[in-house]
Structure 1
Amino acid sequence: MAPVAVDTTQQQPLSVNDIAPKKLQYLPNRAFVLRETKCFVYEERPVPDLPSNKHVIVAIKATGLCGSDIHYWQHGEIGQFKVSQPLVLGHESAGVVWQCGPAVKSLQPGDMVALEPGIPCRSCSYCKEGRYNLCPDVKFAATPPHDGTLTTYYTVPEDFCYKLPSSISLEEGALLEPLSVAVHCAKLAGISYGNSVLVLGAGPIGLLCCSVARAFGAAEVVAVDIVPSRLDFARQYAATKVYRMEGLLPEENASSILSGTRKSEGFDVVIDATGAQSCISTGIHALRRGGKFVQAGLGASEITFPVAQLCSKEGVYIGSFRYSAGDYDTAVKLIEQGSVVVKDMITHSYSFDEAEKAFQNVVQRQGIKTIIRGVGV
């Protein structure tokens, strides 16, 4: 693999054998709480009750850190969502079923599961259409005012748990959440065999978009970033080519990117995983006529981009929001079949007692993906 810094305390991937026979042993319900901006504290809380007879309680064993977690910690808000009371962060998680409601049929205590962290209302028109990611009343973990998964126990409906096959570790299970984001982008773009794909941003989401694009049949996948170490990783991980963004005009960067590809007329699909105005503009200039542009990353709430270019190409600009029906199932299959390898992205792992150190590691842009292990692991 590429020369990415690896934390020397990292453990081997957690499997069910690593936590048996203590996997169902009671542990205090500790929570890692953002009390206010840049201030974390540990609290011991009561074990949560089952909200319904179709819920389960999961003992969280692995949580990946996301950019939104860091942003809430550093700034206390993202757009309309503000941290106005203590909040537990974390939403990329996997663990072991600890208790089941009486109506739960597909799971039992001891099962290893990944958690889908956004629970919709199930009754609005979006939910009924299968686009529950657009539900206006969704309760998403670690989005104010809803607590996240950096705690010993977390409750979730049975059907928002995904049982992990024995070949998938708990750390890999935690990365099903960002992988599902990438799957959703690829589905929105309609990536298919032989396509050329440009991915702007080689962070975790961008890298996973590269890998999913390859798994969906893309023949050429170009990754763009400004950090050389991430491009080195992308080249070894999933990209067929990489490009380091230069301090040029967007159309000049686009021209340079296209000069090294097989399709000089432009990419069939462009995915922006940065939210940066310069990257979005570059991507539109690099899009072929009739191509699809998927916006996966968010930066400033308002940006300026070359709309005349987009219109003259009759390009399709698509917003992407989290994931929806079938995306988690697809993500599980991609890992199980070896089509996408997420374990290579896990470069740092910290104990629950070192959770703040894990946050600091991400801020310092060390490695690719950071995992916080659960209480007692």
Structure 2
Amino acid sequence: MDTDNLSVVLHAKGDLRLEQRPIPEPGDNEVLLLMHSVGICGSDVHYWQHGRIGDFVLKKPMILGHEAAGRVVKVGSRVTHLKPGDRVAIEPGVPREMDEFFKSGHYNLSPTIFFCATPPDNGNLSRYYTHNANFCYKLPDGVTYEEGALIEPLSVGIHACKRAGVTLGSSVLICGAGPIGLVSLLVAKAMGASQVVISDLSADRLSKAKELGADFVLAVKREDVPQELARRVEGMLGGMPHISIECTGAESSIQTAIYATHSGGVVVLVGLGAEMTTVPLVNAAVREVDIRGVFRYCNTWPMAIAMLASKRINVKPLVTHRFPLEQAVQAFETTRQGLGVKVMLKCDRNDQNP
């Protein structure tokens, strides 16, 4: 049996280390996975740089990583739907109890949920990792490990578009062309949006958005006035968008989304910014613009796998950098500097392919 379980461990703010951890044994309802591809998320970098996200504070060393896919190498005694050799995508949020949120299908809102790489729970950026088998989803032959890992950010886009009610003929504004804005773009188009305009500060990110199917791109500057940006969006689309999906968390961007959205439309807040934010609430209220929140996702992995297997969605262009696990610190630095879109770490020494 292999004894190498190299893991990426955050010890404290700014203190990221590569170290060996024991290879865990799977519990009765768990599987042991040889990890293959793990994407670096902005939240991983935020914990590294700040030691916390909101109320989630790092108090002890934590393994990072939650965008992941791997291969089953051992199954627990009660696991019947998976076997060694199966390739799986991992849903990182696992409810710990059958509470009211679990029963109503909103298990992502359970206050006691386990979630990879959210203090105090360890993530899966390691050579070997155990996870609840019910939250490991078998990948079809035509879906790669990297696509499996990208189901996690893709799920944010799916959940956001479902919350927004994107449907045939919808016109959509997406604020922010980072990884979450880009997957929201892919999902909105797949769900039937007729026109999508996406905004960002970065010309490179807008170029990637155009490549992925955006109908219009809007270059913004930090000093731009939200009402003016809203008028520019209306001019591009020939009318105000039915739906705005805000992926930055920036106050001015949330204001733009509200001003831009058609009366009777929906604004979905995906990006997390300051706890207290000034927004034109009365403007939204008198125009019956619904403002809806998004917290991660739920019940999205089967849909995502079906969309990837049918080639309705292509997430492959999102991966711009790849590093072996041994170069994790360099990979994190690449992400921190905002280079590329998605940085992928390759955890299997014998298989560095996508």
- Match among 5, 14, 31 for residue 56 of structure 1: 31
Q: Cα distance, 1:238 vs. partner? A: 2.3
Who is 1:258 aligned against?
A: 234
- Match among 266, 285, 293 for residue 267 of structure 2: 293
Q: SS state of the match for residue 335, structure 2?
A: helix
Q: SS state of the match for residue 289, structure 1?
A: coil
1:348 maps to a residue whose letter is H
- Match among 263, 276, 286 for residue 312 of structure 1: 286
Alignment of 1:225-304 (within 5 A): 225-246=200-221, 247-262=223-238, 264=239, 266-304=240-278
Runs of 4 or more, structure 1, over 3 Å off, are none
Gaps of 5+ in 1: 1-24
Q: SS state of the match for residue 263, structure 2?
A: strand
Q: Distance in 1 between matches of 2:34 and 2:116?
A: 15
Q: Cα distance, 1:38 vs. partner? A: 1.2
- Match among 363, 367, 374 for residue 340 of structure 2: 367
Q: SS state of the match for residue 260, structure 1?
A: helix
1:277 maps to a residue whose letter is E
Q: SS state of the match for residue 32, structure 1?
A: strand
Q: Cα distance, 1:42 vs. partner? A: 2.0
Q: Cα distance, 1:301 vs. partner? A: 1.4
Matched, 1:149 2:130: no
Q: Distance in 2 between matches of 1:359 and 1:129?
A: 37
Q: Cα distance, 1:188 vs. partner? A: 0.7
Percent of pairs identical after alignment? Answer: 40
Who is 2:78 aligned against?
A: 103
What is the root-mean-square deviation of aligned Cα atoms in Å? 1.1
Q: Distance in 1 between matches of 2:3 and 2:321?
A: 25
Q: Distance in 1 between matches of 2:234 and 2:200?
A: 15
Who is 1:10 aligned against?
A: none
Q: Distance in 2 between matches of 1:320 and 1:31?
A: 30
Who is 1:198 aligned against?
A: 173
Q: Is the 8 A contact 2:3 2:22 kept in 1?
A: no
Q: Note the alpha carbon deviations across 1:91-130, whole angstroms, 9 max, x for none.
A: 0000000100122111100110000011112410000111
- Match among 322, 340, 353 for residue 326 of structure 2: 353
**Aligned pairs, number:** 349
Q: Cα distance, 1:74 vs. partner? A: 0.5
1:48 maps to a residue whose letter is P
Q: Distance in 2 between matches of 1:259 and 1:322?
A: 32
Q: Cα distance, 1:363 vs. partner? A: 1.0
Q: Cα distance, 1:27 vs. partner? A: 4.7
1:364 maps to a residue whose letter is Q
Q: Cα distance, 1:48 vs. partner? A: 1.0
Q: Cα distance, 1:84 vs. partner? A: 1.2
Q: Distance in 1 between matches of 2:21 and 2:96?
A: 27
Q: Distance in 2 between matches of 1:236 and 1:31?
A: 35
Q: Distance in 1 between matches of 2:31 and 2:257?
A: 43
Q: Distance in 2 between matches of 1:81 and 1:368?
A: 25
Who is 2:163 aligned against?
A: 188
TM-score between the two structures when normalised by the length of structure 1: 0.91
Q: SS state of the match for residue 57, structure 1?
A: strand
Alignment of 1:10-89 (within 5 A): 26-51=2-27, 53-89=28-64
Q: Cα distance, 1:35 vs. partner? A: 1.5
Q: Is the 8 A contact 1:56 1:98 kept in 2?
A: yes
Matched, 1:337 2:310: yes
Q: Distance in 2 between matches of 1:334 and 1:296?
A: 21
Q: Distance in 2 between matches of 1:375 and 1:340?
A: 26
Q: Is the 8 A contact 1:207 1:238 kept in 2?
A: no
Q: Distance in 1 between matches of 2:18 and 2:340?
A: 26
Q: Is the 8 A contact 1:121 1:127 kept in 2?
A: no
Q: Note the alpha carbon deviations across 1:144-195, whole angstroms, 9 max, x for none.
A: 1111011111111111001001111111110000001110001111110000
Who is 1:162 aligned against?
A: 137
Q: Distance in 2 between matches of 1:245 and 1:270?
A: 16
Q: Is the 8 A contact 1:122 1:128 kept in 2?
A: no
Q: Note the alpha carbon deviations across 1:48-91, whole angstroms, 9 max, x for none.
A: 1223x121111111100101000000010111111111111000
